[in-house]
Amino acid sequence: MVRISLTVDGAKVSDDVEARTLLVQYLREKLGKTGTVIGCDTSNCGACTVHLNGTSVKSCNVLAVQADGAEVTTIEGLASNGQLHPVQEAFRECHGLQCGFCTPGMIMQSADLLKENPNPSEEEIRLGLEGNLCRCTGYHNIVKAVQHAAAAGGAQ
């Protein structure tokens, strides 16, 4: 067991974890942060995407011990002061989700994409979301949602 201390969605947490524990397992099983989900076992789907020190990562591809000392933001911590993040708002507004399983990862990845590139073209959005799979929407409305969020200042 290894002792780790980190900040998750603004709260300081500290736990003993097995060295092999994935960040996503730690979030879900130890912290009850079940908003972040697991969709595959080959890091293809991106459903587990979170922000690690402000940058998107697939949390199935990061060991919990690698997040020691870091700041992690999940879908559950993206809204602030009761206000949805512009990307969350845009996904609802543009119907960018159906079953909603890929949505946490899609939103976290989209937020990171807009932070890097506040005014992306459609092609840049599509390339930026290439690591996140969705089976319901055909991506059409997800792309629209990201465009909508960009127009609404989603980069902040």
Partner 1 sequence: MTALEDRPDVAQEIGRDRRRKEDARLITGRTRWTDNLTVPGMLHLAMVRSPFAHARITSIDTSAAAEATNVVAVITAADLGESQGACINAWPITPDQVAPVHLPMAVDRVAFAGEIVACVVARSAAEARDAAELVDVEYEELPAVVGLKEAIKDEVLAHPELGTNKSALWVFDSAAAGTGGDVEEAIATARESGVVIEREYRQQRLIPAFMEPRSVVVDPTGEQITIWSATQIPHILRFALAATTGVPESKIRVIAPDVGGGFGGKLQQTPEEMIAFAVARHLDKPVKYTETRSESLVSAHHGRDQIQKLTLAATKDGQVTGLKVELLADLGAYVAIVGGGVPVLGAFMFNAIYKFPAYHFACQTVLTNTTWTDAYRGAGRPEATFAIERLMSELAEELGVDPLEIRERNWIKHDEFPFTTVAGLEYDTGNYELATAKAKEMFGYDELRAEQQRRREAGDTVQLGIGISTFTEMCGLAPSRVLGSLDYGAGGWEHASVRMLATGKVEVVTGASAHGQGHETAFSQIVADRLGVPFEDVEVLHGDTQIAHKGLDTYGSRSLVVGGEALVKATDKVIEKARPVAAHLLEASVEDLEFSAGRFSVKGTDAGISVQELATAVFAAHNLPDGMEPSLDADATYDPINFNYPHGTHLCAMEVDTETGAVSMRKYVCVDDIGNVINPLIVSGQVHGGLVQGIAQALWEEAVYDDAGTLVSGTFTDYLLPTAADTISFEIDHTTTPSITNTLGTKGVGEAGTIASTPAVVNAIVDAVRHLGVDDITMPCTPQRVWRAIQEGGRA
d(CA 115, CA 93): 20
String of contacts with partner 1 for each residue 65-94, x by CB under 8 A = ---------xxx-xx----x---x--xxx-
Among 8, 31, 45, 72, binds partner 1 (CB under 8 A): 45
Among 17, 52, 134, 150, binds partner 1 (CB under 8 A): 134
Among 69, 116, 122, 151, binds partner 1 (CB under 8 A): 122
What secondary structure letter does DSSP report for 124? H
Cβ contact 48:58 at 8 Å: yes
In the complex, the smallest distance separating the C-beta of residue 60 from partner 1, rounded to whole angstroms, is 10
For partner 1, the closer of residues 119 and 122 by Cβ is 122
- Asked whether position 100 contacts partner 1 by CB under 8 A, the answer is yes
Name, in order, each residue with C-beta under 8 angstroms of 40's C-beta and a sequence gap of 6 or more: 47, 60, 133
d(CA 29, CA 70): 19
11: exposed, middle or buried (C-beta count within 10 Å: 0-12, 13-18, 19+)? exposed
In the complex, the smallest distance separating the C-beta of residue 55 from partner 1, rounded to whole angstroms, is 19
For partner 1, the closer of residues 69 and 103 by Cβ is 103
How many of the chain's residues bind partner 1 (CB under 8 A)?
Answer: 56
For partner 1, the closer of residues 47 and 57 by Cβ is 47
Please report how many Cα atoms fall inside a 13 Å half-sphere around the Cα of residue 78, on the Cβ side: 31
Angle, to 10 degrees, between the axis of helix 86-93 and the axis of helix 140-151?
Answer: 130
Contact residues for partner 1, defined by CB under 8 A: 18, 25, 28, 33-42, 44-45, 47, 74-76, 78-79, 84, 88, 91-93, 95, 97-104, 107, 122, 125-127, 129-144
